[in-house]
Amino acid sequence: MRTINIFLTDPMAGDLPDFDNGDIRYAFARLYPDGPRRLVEGPVCAFVDWVMADMSGLEMCRRLRSDPRMDDAHITIVLEEDDAEDKRRALRAGADDYIVGPIDRTVVLDRVMALQVGGAQPRVNERLELGALLVDLAALQARWNGQALDLRPNEFRLLHFLAQNPDRVLSRGDLIAALGKQEPPIDERTVDVWIGRLRRALRKVGAGERVRTVRSLGYVYDSYD
């Protein structure tokens, strides 16, 4: 099943259930000032409020365009009123579209699904490169200096998320939340097992100790030697 990620700066995003339509899952998640806190895999649609608690929607839009995880996202600014100058400013800041709020789950789904029907489908960056590491989403394979890593699916997704957030300490809870809902639910012990396997796979291809334990806090992927 393909996933289309729908990120909203509105706090309601955390309460919105995903929607399955044929072979596509529309997955909702909250978008924070520092970016998404879950794994970004597949096309992205972002809905950014014109007014946010910590910054303006225009600044958030500029941040998204400079974020490698989100630079291909289809960004819609949610305006407070139908103002022509606000629309022009939104587009200049990097938004692809705008809509006048308030919005709800149905409005968001209608807009995202209309993008697909109209041919302006959200794009997806299928390759993530971080130094010698290459994560190829199309092939579901990771390579270090050209050598393939032997990873199971969830270990691949874990590496993908770590590589999207290099040099940042991530708790086990962060990693569990990033991989999304799964059955059976992921627990912290499972994360430790996956981290162990990932470390062995990285060592095997000569990457060394890339995933470091930060005592009492979690793990960090070191992008620098």
Condensed to tens digits (0 to 9), the pLDDT of residues 41-100 reads 788 999 999 999 889 999 999 999 888 888 778 999 999 999 999 999 999 998 999 999
pTM > 0.85: no
pLDDT at 119: 46
Chain segment 167-200, per-residue pLDDT in tens = 999 998 888 888 875 656 777 888 898 999 999 9
Average confidence (pLDDT) over 114-131: 66
pLDDT at 9: 96
Least confident of 41-45, 82-86, 203-207, 216-220: 41-45
pLDDT at 146: 92
User: Residue 1 burial by CB count (10 A; 0-12/13-18/19+): exposed, middle or buried?
Assistant: exposed
**Tokens standing for 142?**
């990771």
- Is residue 169 within 8 A of residue 157, CB to CB? The reply is no
Q: Binning pLDDT at 50, 70 and 90, where does residue 37 land?
A: confident
For residues 67 and 28, the model is more confident at 28
| H runs (alpha helix) in the chain | 57-66, 84-92, 105-117, 153-164, 172-178, 188-204
Q: Binning pLDDT at 50, 70 and 90, where does residue 16 land?
A: very high
Q: Binning pLDDT at 50, 70 and 90, where does residue 115 land?
A: confident
For residues 217 and 1, the model is more confident at 217
Other Cβ atoms within 10 Å of 74 Cβ, number:
21
**Separation between Cα atoms, residue 31 and residue 144, nearest integer Å:** 30
Among residues 183, 189, 196, the alpha carbon closest in space to that of 152 is found at 196
Which residues make beta-bridge pairs with 3? 25
pLDDT at 184: 67
**Percent of the chain, pLDDT > 90?**
53
User: Residue 162 burial by CB count (10 A; 0-12/13-18/19+): exposed, middle or buried?
Assistant: buried
Among residues 124, 128, 127, the alpha carbon closest in space to that of 223 is found at 128
